[in-house]
Chains A and B, each alone.
Chain A
Amino acid sequence: MNRLMMASLIAAIAAPTVRAEDGATCGFGTTIAFVDSPKEAATLARKQEKLVLVLHVSGHFEDPRFT
């Protein structure tokens, strides 16, 4: 893993209070702000110095057990 990767990780942890203001986000009834795609999340994470959370869901989005 290169140093660039490490630098982005360090930055992600060091400055966690930056808000997701650049990308349009939707909560869809949850308290999590979702962006449209993992690619966009990765781009924003680099920019805003955060980590990335990707949710993989099969089928039952409407099932509250999963969300």
Chain B
Amino acid sequence: MGALTSPEVGTFVNEHFVSSFQKVATFKIVGKQKQGGNVAAYFCAPDGRVLHVIAGPVDAATFLAESKWVVDTTKACIEKSHGDGGKFKSLFRIAHADKLRRDTGLSVEAVGFDLPDPQADGDALTFRDPSGRPLAPKLPPPPIDGPDVALGEKKFEELQKNAANAPGARACYDRRGGRVVVNNQAIVHQLLAAHAMCPIERVYGTVFENILGEKISTKPVDIVNPFPWVDKQGNRIKR
């Protein structure tokens, strides 16, 4: 959607992040047409733990807003945690729950513990892909409790209407069985309210398969040239 060609996005991202790319999942070629394909952007700490995710293609304004949210939230959590890593993780999960509440009016409880990994690397019974790696886990999101009580009905409906217009909008049920609307970014916040600061290899399977609906074939693969139609200087290659 042109987010990565925006000069504002480029300036901000290059200033605060070191960027790279990987190829995941699969796509089919039917006749001469390719089917499938998607994108996810992971904002991580330098050790690969995920702070935030943008699931699916978004426009430049959304990409910039989400990038700024990551940087601002990280700053705020660092300040409040006073060097305590556990507190930082907890605060970041609370920040995701707060963002979900602000964006969609839905209340989710941030999870203050790490779920045990059900498929440790050394486990003989773990199903593995052909390269020998365990498959990417599908992390369970915390349940949506329901509409935030601090919002009036009118405000909640307004937020839900906005959520319904965003990419990946879908209906789901809250804990009481009430029908609510979420979208890709809402599910990301819901997921990261429980799993923020997990390593990227534990999160990407959930993002691609459970949020974007893309089947993952194998582990992420580094690719030499992601944009084969342009050279390294960005000039279109004539064929």
Contacts and interface: CB of A to CB of B under 8 A. Distances in A.
Contact of A53 (B43, B85, B89, B226): B43
Size class of the contact patch on chain B: 35 or more
Contacts of A23: 18
Interface string A4-27: 011111101100110110010011
A53 B51 CA distance: 10
B142 to A, nearest CB: 20
Contacts, number: 235
Contact of B21 (A7, A10, A29, A56): A56
Interface in A29-67: 29-38, 40-42, 44-46, 48, 50-67
Nearest to A10: B78
B83 A6 contact: yes
Contact of B46 (A36, A37, A46, A62): A46
Contact of B85 (A5, A17, A59, A64): A5
Contacts of A50: 16-18, 46
A40 B230 CA distance: 23
Interface residues of A, number: 54
A39 B28 CA distance: 29
A51 B214 CA distance: 27
Nearest to A38: B20
A53 B67 CA distance: 10
Interface stretch (B7-15, B105-113, B156-164): B7-15
Contacts of B3: 67
B139 interface: no
A26 B10 CA distance: 12
Interface stretch (B33-41, B95-103, B123-131): B33-41
B228 to A, nearest CB: 7
B86 interface: yes
A52 B200 CA distance: 11
Interface of A: 1-3, 5-10, 12-13, 16-17, 19-20, 23, 26-38, 40-42, 44-46, 48, 50-67
26 contacts: A8-B46, A9-B45, A9-B74, A9-B88, A16-B71, A27-B10, A32-B10, A32-B19, A33-B10, A34-B226, A37-B20, A38-B20, A38-B22, A38-B48, A42-B47, A44-B18, A45-B17, A46-B46, A52-B48, A55-B20, A56-B204, A59-B26, A60-B37, A66-B38, A66-B57, A67-B227
Interface of B: 1-7, 9-11, 13-27, 34, 36-49, 51, 57, 67, 70-71, 74-75, 78, 81, 83-86, 88-89, 197, 200, 204, 207-208, 214, 220, 222-230, 232, 234, 236
Name the 6 nearest CB pairs between A and B, nearest first: A31-B10, A1-B85, A59-B27, A58-B25, A60-B37, A59-B37
